[in-house]
Structure 1
Amino acid sequence: MRYLYLLAAALAVVSAQIASPACPTPRIRRAWSQYCQADKDLYIKAVSLGMKRGYHHRFVEIHIEPASNSEAHDSFFFYWHRAYLLAYENMLRSLGPQFACITLPYWDYASLGANFISGGCTDMLSCGPLLKDFGGSLPPTAKGPYTLTVNGQVFQADNCVVSPLTRNFCQNSTAFNTKKCFNCMPRNDWSKAPVPPDVNALSVYSNVLGDVPPNLDGVTSGVQWGTHNMVHAVLDSTMGTFASPSDPVFYAHHATTDALHAIYYNCIVAGSPPKNPYDDDRTWTTTRNFAGKTIVPSDLITMKVGEAGTVPASIWTATSNPIYPFFQGIPQTYLPYADSTKLGAYSYKYNFTGTMLEDMNKQCSAFKPAGAVLLTTDGGPPTAAATKESMWLRDATILASNYYTEDADITHQVQMMLCVYYNECLGGVFDYSDEFKTNFHVSKKPPCKRIVDDLAGGNTVIGVPGWERAMLKTYPCNGASALFL
């Protein structure tokens, strides 16, 4: 096994030496909320140009290909997507000198959750700027619903959005070559998409560090089956299928899940790096590929490119494919992707300044969501929504600590309170739709749905008397059941 690990490490070193980016400064990804208007305009221009040149839709081909998405949505969820995002970022940087230092933005979910639970907004579209900046979902001449196909993936869409970001979108290589592209982005009406509890600051923390085992399987399960899946599910349409990389929102969403793994690595692994990452459950796990073979460190990451209905080729050897160059130089095996800061010329970090993730990354298991939600991107006073959420998290934590002593137990109790409040007072907590379960091969319920069902079935309890009254001091509740009140 040590030989396999050393071989994989050697391959990573060689690949990192093949090419170096044109940008002279380190790659540092930032929250979209930190972008000035000029930065936003530059990013939107780059993605639109990547579509126009025929690169963007070929990344969609990889994500849809069965053997590829099988590995992408299993135990190596983080590592597979880390390689994928890095290649997409390389593509954007290749488009011209003005784009040479572009990095993918990540989506600061916590502000969505704080705004929604406070009553300051009602849906995914209105609770934060990113979806609006990415073109929104409500064209004035919408004529949907439509049944559409992107590279063989069939789905429903309320609208097809034309915006500076989406007007060059093409659904497959044949359409691109024959100039029959959609030239718009299929989307559902996001003004009807509820903000799920999974994007709340407390839920994000629970999925990464607070309520999952401190190993790769634990954080993968917490993030993939919780925050990650639920955002895909509520946005739905293209985002509810494996054609989701069609929508540029995908890359901001997955940059966030990647950032959550970077926090996990910093908090759980970096302080005592494994001598052999292959033998450490913090960085490696046992899983099989699409063909049923156990993946070992020397195995290439499965990424196959090609339009649906054709014979796909490994992106690592598909020299004639237009996006082949963007994968050259990055590691071709999984283990090097355990640490985004150790990828040679392609290393990158995250700037968490002004986001809820900043304190999580610094404080790790000592993280207190009550303080983190008060952070602002401009250094100014926190919003009323953030202040209100901070007050509730503080009060709930103090109350729970009267009955529980372990930090993990206290966090879990407060998490259950949040889930019940969503279920009773904010429209309900729901399972994924049958269609989404089929599309994403989902077998687990969302975390809050599991909690609510366990409470209803008597399999667990919120052992904090009076928590309902404490919550209602901060957040009102219309239509709650008598049991809640």
Structure 2
Amino acid sequence: MKLLWALTLSLLAFVSTHAPVEAQTATCDARVRRNWDALSTTEKDTYKGALAAAMDSGAYIKFIEMHTEAMSQVEAHGQCMFTYWHRLFLIVFENMLRGQGDEFACVTIPYYNWLGAYNRVLSGACTTLGDCSAIATELGGFTGGSNRTLFINGLKTSGTCVTEEPLNHFCQASSTTSDVCAHCVPRGDWGAARVASSTSYSSVREQVFSGSNIGEMSPLVEEGCHADVHRSFGGAMKTLASPSDPIFWSHHAMVDALHTIFHKCRVGTKRLSFEEKASHPVAWTSCPRVIDSVPPSGPPFNPTDVVTMRTGENGTNPINGSDDPVIGQYFKDVPNRFADLMDVRDLGDFSYSYELSGQLASMYTDCDGNSTARRLETESGGGINQQAGTTTIAASENISTFDDGKVDVIIVEDFDLSEQLVTTWYNEAMAAMGGQCAENMADLERQACMFHDKCLGGVVDFSEEFKATWGVKEARCKTIVNAIDSGEQPIAYGGWREHMETYFGCPMPANEPTPAGQSQTAGPACY
């Protein structure tokens, strides 16, 4: 009898921990994703509470299952659907968080603006990833645990297993009951880790704007700043079980914000029908699916294809996420074809905006300053509409078809001192080189990467294990620095080093002397 009673209690504990939570019906304002640094303490606590509740309910681990499941993973990474796949992933996750209780019914995923962290390092305000990123200390921190190895949905993951809220609610597998859950998430040594070299303003602008269509932009970002941030955080973040760390969601919200900026600047502000999206040469590009060969040789992705997201513990007996008894409800009515996910304003009740400021706002409003971006703005009738106070809203103006008031970006005036300093240097260097153009944008990225290598502790490459896991070859700035060192692609602006040190000094000297592969002539003039 005692044994039966114990088994009954265990079963009740399992069911209460893993039972689906009904979606909430509270009335919320339009969804707006904001910078973590802009949230109030109460808003941060509410978001952390939603994460903890999701871990307790058994819903959170389902997203790790989808990110690691074989057929889902090959759509998510290393192919041209990276941005679309993760956009749907974020929407469903956000729906799930809102479904964890009335108090969480209006939460949105805050983005981690790693441009700000890089600016603070460059300006000398701080030195490490942990010190320069408020979210790193406020979303669980990187101490308060011991070194430990977990098998998260079957994937080996090691690091300091941090036990601070909300990480102390984490469970590493769907079938694991609360009493044997890890109640921690493995993290790297963020107190010593350096910020990712490809997250400088110069580098991110080049990654977003050097591609002429989404098929070119997506891999530049995926293999550049996206991968570099995963590497720099280490721990679970360097594995495909990375969604186990809540910082994953804010990192990918930042990547999604860059996708939103790209869409406005390269596609325009006009609202497109599905047919127009599916045939748009910039907004839609395809590539072969990965089957069993490298390079990929499978059938191409089609705009009408439904995104694959499947759950299954350790990848066994996978089912569509929309059919999963725990999280299936959060897929309901969410647009799920690839081309459906092109514009954040066209997602029905799941549409959302980004609140941007500073450099991100400049990227959105000014794009790369070329004539194509200005022409798209004029043809679409879009632009920045002034609102009361310090807030401006960038809205679509194709009102005859889409008079729904939905916007992709809300701009607020908020420059911190580090951001102002870096932006002033960037604009001054661009002017000294002859003005805004593609050649000078690329040269400014070369300058930033080389400065990181010489004055910010050195550029760090990906490990062989990381390359194999994520299907990447070499860290972006490592490739650029090697090309400069060899003389293959010299820096065109001869006074770059003196100019940068005038603004930033040389906080963490490394890898001297400066190589000879740098031209002493002025950069190309272009307007």
Shorter-chain TM-score bucket reads 0.7 to 0.9
Residue 308 to residue 290, structure 1, CA distance change in 2 (3 Å): farther
Once residues 130 and 83 of structure 1 are traced to their aligned partners in structure 2, the CA distance between those partners, rounded to angstroms, is 23
SS in structure 2 of the partner of residue 206 of structure 1: helix
Q: Give the distance between the partners of 2:104 and 2:195, measured in 1 at CA.
A: 33
Partner of 2:47: 43
Of 502, 506, 523, the residue aligned with 1:473 is 502
- Find 1:413's aligned residue among 443, 449, 459: 443
When residues 382 and 258 of structure 1 are mapped into structure 2, their CA distance, relative to the original with a 3 A threshold, is closer
In the TM superposition, 1:307-456 aligns within 5 A as: 307-308=313-314, 310-318=316-324, 321-352=325-356, 354-366=357-369, 382-383=416-417, 385-401=418-434, 407-443=437-473, 445-456=474-485
Instruction: Determine if contact 2:188/2:234 at 8 Å carries over to the other structure.
Output: yes
- 2:154 matches 1:152: yes
Question: TM-score by structure 2 length?
Answer: 0.80
In the alignment, structure 1 residue 251 sits paired with structure 2 residue 256: no
What letter corresponds to residue 259 of structure 1 in structure 2? A
- 1:380/1:350 Cα in 2 relative to 1: closer, same or farther (>3 Å)? closer
1:16 alignment counterpart: none
Q: Which residue of 2 aligns with 1:31?
A: 35
State how far apart, in whole Å, the 1-side matches of 2:415 and 2:483 are: 39
Structure 2: state its 5+ residue gaps.
Answer: 1-22, 292-297, 371-389, 392-410, 517-527
Aligned-residue offset at 1:280 = 2.4
* SS at 1:136 equivalent: coil
1:24-423 equivalence runs, <5 A: 24-73=28-77, 74-139=79-144, 142-144=145-147, 146-157=148-159, 159-176=160-177, 179-209=179-209, 212-271=210-269, 276-291=276-291, 292-308=298-314, 310-318=316-324, 321-352=325-356, 354-366=357-369, 382-383=416-417, 385-401=418-434, 407-423=437-453
- Structure 1 residues 126-135 or 266-275, which shifts more? 266-275
**Which stretch shows the higher mean deviation, 289-298 or 303-312?**
289-298
Q: How far apart are residue 433 of structure 1 and its match? A: 0.8
- In the TM superposition, residue 101 of structure 1 has moved relative to its aligned partner by 1.1
Q: Select the structure of larger CA radius of gyration.
A: 2
Instruction: Pick one of 440, 457, 462 that aligns with 2:486.
Output: 457
For each residue in 1:197-251, what CA deviation from the matched residue of structure 2 results, as whole angstroms up to 9, or x when unmatched?
2222222211112xx2220112102211111100001111100011000010000
Q: Structure 1 residues 440, 479: CA separation in 2 closer, same or farther (over 3 Å shift)?
A: closer
Partner letter of residue 228 of structure 1? H
Alignment CA distance shift 1:23-1:117 (3 Å): same
Q: 1:21 to 1:232 in 2, by over 3 A?
A: farther
State TM-score, norm by structure 1. 0.86
Count of aligned pairs: 445
Describe the superposition over 1:138-165 as per-residue Cα deviations: whole angstroms up to 9, x where unpaired. Answer: 11xx432x332100111321x1111221
The answer on whether the counterparts of 1:305 and 1:314 sit within 8 Å (CA) in structure 2 is yes
Pair 22,330 (structure 1): closer, same or farther in 2 beyond 3 Å: farther
Are the structure 2 counterparts of residues 298 and 129 from structure 1 closer, same or farther at C-alpha, using a change threshold of 3 Å? same
Change (3 A) 1:406 1:163: closer
Q: Distance in 2 between matches of 1:87 and 1:116?
A: 34
| Post-superposition offset of 1:84 | 0.8
What is the CA–CA distance in structure 1 between the aligned matches of 2:329 and 2:117, rounded to whole Å? 37
Q: Unpaired runs of 5+ in structure 1?
A: 1-18, 368-374
Task: After TM superposition, give the deviation of residue 332 of structure 1 in Å.
Answer: 2.3
Equivalent AA in structure 2 for residue 399 of structure 1: A
User: Is the alpha carbon distance of 1:380 and 1:332 closer, same or farther for their aligned partners in structure 2, counting shifts above 3 Å?
Assistant: closer
- Relative CO higher for 1 or 2, CA cutoff 8 Å, sep ≥ 6? 1
